[in-house]
Every structure is written in structure tokens, then in C-alpha cells.
Chain A
Amino acid sequence: MKKTKQLFAGLILMALGLGTAQAEYTLNLMRGVTKVSNDIYDLHMLILWICVFIGIGVFGTMFYSIYHHRKSRGHKAEQFHENTTVEIIWTIIPTLILIGMAIPATKAMIELDDVQESEMSIKVTGHQWKWEYEYLDNGIHFFSSLDEASNKVRQVGSGIDPRSVPHYLLNVDKPLVIPTKKKIRFVFTSADVIHSWWVPDLGWKKDTNPGFINESWTSVDEPGTYRGQCTELCGKDHGFMPIVVIAMNEPDYNAWVEQQKAAIAAEAGSASKQWTNEELIAKGKSVYDTNCSSCHMADGAGLSGTFPAITASKVVTGDINAQVKLMLDGKGMMPAFGKILSPVDFAAVVTYTRNGLGNSVGDSIQPSAIQTLQSATPAAGKNE
């Protein structure tokens, strides 16, 4: 028993001591970068110390007793079996401690819940298995998926050392950018199953429920890159949809917004140009790897019983317009990609699936044709 106690003591000391000493090797909750996250950290430490204090009292008494009141030391058992005073005391004291905890906890909870007076809003939509961000004030809108380097390494039996990838599994292709020192309101929803959006440095996580809106807020003081993950089991690639938030000073943020708007304009321009088959196929491969390969597999073989194969698929080798229609509207677990991909990406991936992954239909479709079909398709029946 003493050994166990020493083990605990050692581990608790390590938890408290090393936590501050090594940044990359945290053992304790992180303080985070917002006022709320700091309040939560303080609350966490308060309760941790209360528990340590009570633990020392209870376990101390127990181990004293185990050492002294043993038969092998000739201790004779006393026969007392109740003491009303003691029992009342050890009911009342915990009650008082709980009230003492509940007061700061209530304050922190109310603070965390208060989304009033926000200066800007970002809509976060969970997808299997990526995040969609929409800046409600300026129309910037994009998807954020696991970065390509991590995605290669994390395939079963890839044999690549995860340590060779910077921020393995905690890096994305396109991070969320927010301004510092502004109260930002987040609204959360989901396109398929429940996900949960968590960046530990912000101090909270929030579930994204399909068909419903949740809210939360943050205000980051210091510029920096803050990383997190999905924390609600959302299927096969739940572990592979990280979150990266970059907080920028106001001027840097404004420059980023302008850059994004310019990119949107350029994208619209490229949709009307005529693309060659080679261009479409080359672009389509990277679109496929990011958006399709987690279900239909990188080689297009699918997953028997769950996800159909692309290679030799009746849909992909059949009428091209039927394939586009299916992809625009979605089917079963397959999301409606008409709302996810740009016309260029859409045309590229359709062309790639018909001319790659073991298929050789030989035809292609132009982004402009996709645009026409997209506008012809009535909005999918989702409550928005």
C-alpha cells in the first residue's frame, strides 16, 4: 500500500512540477489565451487542490490506521460502530466546500455563456471529416481539412515516422483566421453527424448538432496559432479532422480578408475559362485526395459493404450528367458536393474519377457546365 501511495505522490508532483517546466510536454490543463480559459484554469486548480487536500486527510488517516491498527502489531479491535457527531460533521463540511466551489463555478459558467455584444460572427459547420467556416460579416467561406503530410502518414501501415511531420494530426490545409482583441461569436451546426469543436487554448468545446445552432464566443488577446481537434466521435476519421486557429493583429487580419476576397474573384474567373483534360485531371487528383479518399479510399477501391468503389463503378463509367447529378445532390452518407466544392474543383474531380483510378471513359466536363447544372438544381431540402 505504501508503494501505491508513493507512486501517487510522485505522479501528482510530476503533474504539478513538470507542467510549468516543459511546454511541449504538458501534464496539466493549459491556461489558454483568453480570459475565460484563464478563469477555467484557475477553477480547475482550485478544485484540484481541494481534492488533494481532502485526499491527504482521508488517505493519511487510512494509512495511519493500516500501519498502526493491525493485528500483527497486536492491536485489539475496538467495537464502536457509530458516532452521530462525527457523522454530522463529515456531512456538513463537504456541503460547505461544495457551496464554496459552486459560487466561482456559477460565475465562470455565466461568463462562458454570454455571447451578447459580439463584434463579428463565424459559422462553423462540422462535416465527416472536415470543418467548414463561413464569416457571416464578409462572406469569406472555405473548408478546412487535415493537411496532406499528416494524411499520408496516418494511413494504416504507411511506415512513415509521424515525428517527421510538423504538427502531426494537428495541422490543416487552410486554417481559420481571426482578429485579436475582438469578441467573436461562433455559431455551430453540422451537415451530417454530431461533431464537437475544441481548441483547448480558447477554454471550451461546443457540439455541432445537425439541424440546430449552438453558440459560443471568444476574444483572444495575443496573436498566435492555436490547435485543436474534433472531440465528439463522428465516425471513421474522427481523429483526423483537426482545427487550427490563427489569431492576427487587426492590420494583418484585414490584409488577410482582402487577400481572400481577391482569391474568390480569381476563382470565379477561372470557372468561366476553358480547361484542358490534363489540367482537370491534375487538379482533380488533389481534390479527390482531400474530399473523397477518406471513404472511397486513395486508390478508388472503396470499403466493401460501406463505401462503394470508384474503380469500374457503374455511376462513374456511365452517363456523365447522371454522375454529376448524384454528386451535386448527395445520396445516403454521401454529402451533397454541390454545396461543398467550387465549380472548378467539382469539374476537376468528376473528370479525374472518369479518367483515373483505373477508369478510362475518356470524357470530361467543364466548370462552366457545372455552374449551369448547379443553378438548375433546386436547393437541397435542408433547414437552414
Chain B
Amino acid sequence: MSAVVAEHDAHHDHHEHGPAKGLLRWVITTNHKDIGTLYLLFALTMFFVGGAMAMVIRAELFEPGMQFVNPQFFNSMTTMHALVMVFGAVMPAFVGLANWMIPMMIGAPDMALPRMNNMSFWLLVAGVLLLASTLFMEGGAPASGWTLYPPLVLQTGKALPFAIFSVHLLGISSIMGAINIIATIFNMRAPGMTLMKMPMFVWTWLITAFLLIAIMPVFAGAVTMLLTDKFFNTSFFDAAGGGDPVLYQHIFWFFGHPEVYVMILPTFGVASTIIPVFARKPLFGYSSMVYATASIAFLSFIVWAHHMFTVGMPIAGELYFMYATMLIAIPTGVKVFNWTATMWKGSMTFETPMLFSIAFVVLFTMGGFTGLMMSVAPVDFQYHDTYFIVAHFHYTLVPASVFILMAAGYFWLPKWTGHMYDERIGRLHFWLSVVSVNILFFPQHFLGLAGMPRRIPDYAVQFADWNMISSIGGFIFGASQLLFLYIVIDTIKGGTGEKVTDEVWEDAAKHSLEWTLPSPPPYHSFTTPPTVIPTEHI
């Protein structure tokens, strides 16, 4: 199915110009593909940095007893692992995908605000480097968990103001990125590309961008109050001065809950893009997908205190947040059912992107199930702050967001580079990852239910066996990701040597505009708007 729109007069007065020469190209670039590449490479680097921290954690937890690090450094590792993975790896990776794909998917030459695009990337780098520098400061990196709860966070050494300023930089970077994406989607769509014809990835990013603009200032406000409490004698969170430490938790999770959806909504978008291509079928229920995404985004603002069931809320609060949280299961269920229905009676093939996407649907659903379990407030009085929670959110982040980022890499690398990746190594990477990620995280459900709290560097001996299994899974998973690094480098350098077509994947051009461009695409994606809008995905 295709909608044909009237061809516009192409303006041929533009002059072709390529990138600047040498290293400077990457510093001053305003090109959406260059910036997308920078974001993606930065995210991949941070994925390995955060991963190395996870390896320290799993090594210490390999056996009961304290073997390698002291408890304070262990707490720094859990804190920094989370901050680096959330703000340094997953979020930038999706911004990188947005930079690369949104202009190509909506038929635009570039992002709407290219200079701001450059600035938002370099602010991200500054923010993450500032955060990383706290590791070397007196008193160590923040060790209060990524939630930075007071009063504990106020006991941080010299690192506190640096960590707070880093959060400000990351926030500014995210907000600028979000504004750019909204401006691009609202202003630069090709004629005929109505909102309800946009690819799902563009839709999910549009909604995510609004989430970001709404929540990042809230987080900035929260950490600024920490700053003034610590250095300027305010008492926002200190009962002795009339404040309330729980107030911080409300503010944090008003940011924090939508924040986790910032990482999952674009994931949904990529899955909805990949599955139809390899099922050779249109996406099932396009409009219900759009509405479900919007519903999830809306609900994310009114459920925050389910992270705080045991903090001592009145019964009305407990019940309200329980009911509201349960509601999220409905639109999320719709999405899972739609993906299943998209596969149903298709003509499926199982290239690496599809394998990762199917694993995403299955394993994300597992994370969704445990999420449903912990939405039930009285039962959460047992689950809260145990390894059951750790298992839950890692299922919704690693084999969900991270797997989908891998899927996106395999799916679009041939388009980006013009080279085909090695399918055999890709599949090996997939199978190693999917098996080891379950060895890593599934036993953590048992640990949590059996009573192991999270964020502890050492544990009672009855938790020893599953911790060792989990650590072994972690080491295999960590090592397997080096294969991905190899594949990325190999593909950039030429891959299998096979010349890829514009479409890359069979009939992909029926689904989305990027497959109508050459592989690799020209420096300025669509210098004239495309005339045929693909509608296979609708």
C-alpha cells in the first residue's frame, strides 16, 4: 500500500558539500548522521564502562565474604553503574538512533536545529566526564544509589557538587535533544507524511521527547535542593529545619518513573519497526500502538509513589498508587498482543535483528509480569528493595532496551555503512547474550524472594549458590558483548564485502522511507522531499 502525493518542484539551487576534513569534522559537525554516530559510539563506550562496573559488582558477589573491594567502593560501583548506564549508555544510544533515523524516516534533509544538536552532544560528554571524574575524588564517587536519597547522599565527600552539576549538564543536553526532535517532527515531515502515517519509531520518540522536557527540570530542581541543603543551610529535606526527607523521594520519582519510560518507549518503537519487516506483514494495530504509547506516557506521571510503598504513606495513597500502577498493564498488554498478532500468519525469517526483537518481546514481558506483581502494594512490602526488584528492572532494561539497541544496530548498520555484517557472528552474539542474560538475571528473582536485600556487598551463605550462578551468567554476558564491538568495527571496515541494496531487507522500503535512500545514504538525507509515503506499517 502506498499513498502517492503530488510531486513538488525540486529546488536545485542547493550546493553539495560534504563533511569537514580530519578530526575537526567530529567536533564541529552539525550533520544529523555525524552527530548520530557520535552519540552511538559514545553510548557504546559508556556501555562497556558501565559494564565493567557491573563486573566489579558481580565479582564481589561471586562468593560470600568480602574479597575485592571495600563496602563504600561497592556502593559507588552500584551507583555509578546505574548512572552511567542510564545517562551515558541507554539514553544517548536512543538519541543517536533518533538523530540518524528521524530525518530519514520523515523525509527531511537533517534535524531542525543542527547547531543545538552539536551542543547537546558535547554537553552530554562534558556531563558524563564530570560524573566519571568523581571516582577519583576525595571520599569517592557518590555511593547513595542512583536515586541520590537524602540524608545519605549529603554524606558524599567532595564529589557531591560535581555530581549535581553533572546532572544539570545531562539535563540540559537531554532537553535540547528533545526540543530538537519535537521541532524536527513537527516541521520537517515530507508532504503527505501526516502524523498518523509516521513510523512508530518517530511516534514513540515524539512522545518520549515530551516526557523528557517535562521531567528533566524536575530532577534538576531536586538535585539543586540537595545542593542548597548541603551548602547553603536550607532544610528542604531535613526534619530538624522543618523539611522532609520523603519529599525528595516524591520529587525524584515524579522524574524517575517517566525517566524509565524514556528508556522503554523508543524501545517499543524500534521493536514495532523491526518485527513487521521480518514477519513481512504490516504492524498489527498501528493506531492502537500510538494510543497505547501515549497512555503509558500519561500514566507514567501519576504512578510515581509505587517506588515508595514502604515509606509510610497513608492508606489512601497506598491504594491510589496501587490501582494507578495496575492500569499500566493494560496498554502494555495491548502492545505485547499487537506484536504477537504482527507475527501471526506472517512469513517470518530470523536474521539477527529479528532474533533480538523476539527475545525482547518475551523477556520484556517477563519483566512486565514481575512489574505487575510488585504493583500490588501489600505484596510489595515483601518485594521492595530486594533482588526481586533488581531482577525486575534489569529484565525491562537489559534484554529489553539493550537488546533492542543491539537489534537496531544490526538492522540499520548495513544502511548506515553500506556494508553487511557477518550474520553468523551476529547469531552467535545473540544466542550467547540471550542465554547468559537469563543465567544472570533469572536467579535474582529467587534471591529476592528468599530475602536478599539489594545494594549489599556481602550476603548470608544461603544466597551463595544463586549468586555464583548469576555472576557466571554476568561474566559470559559481559564477554559476549565484545563480539558486538567486533561486529560493529568489522562492518564499518567492510563487513562481509557483500554490496547491500538500498532496501537491505526484503521489501523494507514498503515500511519506511530510509530504505528508499542509497546505502550508505547521502550526507544530506532528503534534499528534495520524497513523493511516495510508505504506509505498509500502518
Binding site for B on A (CB under 8 A): 1, 3-4, 7-8, 11, 15, 24-30, 36, 39-40, 43-44, 47-48, 51, 54-55, 58-59, 61-62, 65-66, 69-72, 75-83, 86-87, 90-91, 94-95, 98, 101-102, 105-106, 108-113, 153-158, 160-163, 167-170, 188, 192-194, 196, 198, 200, 203-207, 209-212, 214-215, 228-240, 303-306, 333, 381-383
With contacts A112-B378, A156-B70, A168-B64 taken as known, whether A333 is within 8 angstroms of B282 at the C-beta atoms is no
Q: Which residue of chain A has its CB nearest to the CB of B438?
A: A7
Measured between beta carbons, the chain A residues less than 8 angstroms from B162 are none
Measured between beta carbons, the chain A residues less than 8 angstroms from B333 are 90-91, 94
Q: A156 contacts B66, CB within 8 Å?
A: yes
Measured between beta carbons, the chain A residues less than 8 angstroms from B149 are 193-194, 233
Q: Give the CA-CA distance A375 to B180 in the complex, in Å.
A: 65
Q: B330 contacts A167, CB within 8 Å?
A: no
Measured between beta carbons, the chain B residues less than 8 angstroms from A59 are 362, 365
Chief secondary structure at chain A's binding surface:
mixed
Measured between beta carbons, the chain A residues less than 8 angstroms from B435 are 3-4, 7
Measured between beta carbons, the chain B residues less than 8 angstroms from A111 are 378
With contacts A109-B315, A113-B315 taken as known, whether A238 is within 8 angstroms of B310 at the C-beta atoms is no
With contacts A69-B345, A162-B65, A236-B71 taken as known, whether A47 is within 8 angstroms of B144 at the C-beta atoms is no
For B321-337 the 0/1 string (1 means CB < 8 A from A) is 01100110110011011
For B243-285 the 0/1 string (1 means CB < 8 A from A) is 0111000000000000000000000000000000001111111
Q: A204 contacts B382, CB within 8 Å?
A: yes
Measured between beta carbons, the chain B residues less than 8 angstroms from A105 are 322, 376-379
Q: A47 contacts B65, CB within 8 Å?
A: no
Measured between beta carbons, the chain A residues less than 8 angstroms from B116 are none
Q: Which residue of chain A has its CB nearest to the CB of B386?
A: A231
Q: B312 contacts A98, CB within 8 Å?
A: no
Q: Give the CA-CA distance A83 to B334 in the complex, in Å.
A: 13
- Min CB gap B508→A, angstroms: 14
- Min CB gap B339→A, angstroms: 8
Q: Assess whether B161 is interfacial by the CB under 8 Å rule.
A: no
Q: Give the CA-CA distance A76 to B310 in the complex, in Å.
A: 53
- Min CB gap B307→A, angstroms: 12
Q: A234 contacts B152, CB within 8 Å?
A: yes
Measured between beta carbons, the chain B residues less than 8 angstroms from A43 are 376, 378-379
Measured between beta carbons, the chain B residues less than 8 angstroms from A303 are 72
Q: A95 contacts B65, CB within 8 Å?
A: no
Q: A65 contacts B346, CB within 8 Å?
A: yes
Q: Assess whether B478 is interfacial by the CB under 8 Å rule.
A: no
Q: Assess whether B384 is interfacial by the CB under 8 Å rule.
A: yes
Q: Give the CA-CA distance A44 to B281 in the complex, in Å.
A: 39
Q: A108 contacts B453, CB within 8 Å?
A: no
> Which of B93-101, B203-211, B457-465 lies at the interface?
B457-465
Q: Assess whether B538 is interfacial by the CB under 8 Å rule.
A: yes
- Min CB gap A224→B, angstroms: 15
Binding site for A on B (CB under 8 A): 64-72, 75, 138-140, 143-145, 149, 151-152, 155, 157-158, 238-240, 244-246, 279-288, 310-312, 315, 318-319, 322-323, 326-327, 329-330, 333-334, 336-337, 340-341, 343-350, 355, 358-359, 361-362, 365-366, 369-370, 372-373, 376-379, 381-382, 384-386, 434-435, 438, 442, 445-446, 449-451, 453-462, 465, 538
Measured between beta carbons, the chain A residues less than 8 angstroms from B385 are 196, 198, 205, 231-232
Question: Which residue, B64, B149, B349, has most C-beta atoms of chain A within 10 A?
Answer: B64
Q: B285 contacts A87, CB within 8 Å?
A: yes
Measured between beta carbons, the chain A residues less than 8 angstroms from B372 are 47, 51
Q: Give the CA-CA distance A212 to B281 in the complex, in Å.
A: 58
Q: Which residue of chain B has its CB nearest to the CB of A44?
A: B379
Q: A162 contacts B64, CB within 8 Å?
A: yes
Measured between beta carbons, the chain B residues less than 8 angstroms from A69 are 279, 343-348
Give the number of residue pairs across the A-B interface with Cβ within 8 Å: 322
Measured between beta carbons, the chain A residues less than 8 angstroms from B327 are 98
B347 touches which of A70, A206, A383 (Cβ 8 Å): A70
Q: B66 contacts A158, CB within 8 Å?
A: yes
Question: Which residue, B336, B361, B450, has most C-beta atoms of chain A within 10 A?
Answer: B450
Measured between beta carbons, the chain A residues less than 8 angstroms from B377 are 105, 109
Q: B358 contacts A1, CB within 8 Å?
A: yes
B381 touches which of A26, A51, A158, A205 (Cβ 8 Å): A205
Measured between beta carbons, the chain B residues less than 8 angstroms from A109 are 315, 318-319, 322, 377-378
With contacts A26-B450, A87-B285, A305-B139 taken as known, whether A65 is within 8 angstroms of B349 at the C-beta atoms is no
B345 touches which of A26, A75, A160, A382 (Cβ 8 Å): A75
**Given A58-B337, A78-B346, 11 more pairs with CB closer than 8 A:** A27-B449, A55-B366, A70-B349, A71-B347, A79-B281, A205-B310, A209-B239, A209-B311, A236-B143, A333-B155, A383-B240
Q: A30 contacts B451, CB within 8 Å?
A: yes
- Min CB gap B427→A, angstroms: 12
What are 5 A-B contacts defined by CB distance under 8 Å? Answer: A157-B67, A162-B458, A203-B382, A212-B312, A239-B456
Q: A75 contacts B347, CB within 8 Å?
A: yes
- Min CB gap B87→A, angstroms: 19
Q: A-B pairs with the 6 shortest C-beta distances?
A: A211-B239, A239-B456, A214-B312, A81-B282, A305-B138, A77-B347
Q: B458 contacts A154, CB within 8 Å?
A: yes
Q: B152 contacts A66, CB within 8 Å?
A: no
Q: B330 contacts A77, CB within 8 Å?
A: no
Q: A383 contacts B382, CB within 8 Å?
A: no
Measured between beta carbons, the chain A residues less than 8 angstroms from B68 are 156
Q: Which residue of chain A has its CB nearest to the CB of B151?
A: A193
- Min CB gap B513→A, angstroms: 19
B365 touches which of A55, A77, A83 (Cβ 8 Å): A55
Measured between beta carbons, the chain B residues less than 8 angstroms from A108 are 378-379
With contacts A4-B435, A235-B155 taken as known, whether A72 is within 8 angstroms of B75 at the C-beta atoms is no
Measured between beta carbons, the chain A residues less than 8 angstroms from B366 are 8, 55
- Min CB gap B476→A, angstroms: 14
With contacts A3-B435, A90-B334 taken as known, whether A62 is within 8 angstroms of B361 at the C-beta atoms is yes
Q: A106 contacts B319, CB within 8 Å?
A: yes
- Min CB gap B365→A, angstroms: 7
- Min CB gap B315→A, angstroms: 5
Q: Give the CA-CA distance A205 to B311 in the complex, in Å.
A: 9
B362 touches which of A51, A62, A102 (Cβ 8 Å): A62
Measured between beta carbons, the chain A residues less than 8 angstroms from B64 are 162-163, 168-169
- Min CB gap A276→B, angstroms: 37
Q: Which residue of chain B has its CB nearest to the CB of A228?
A: B451
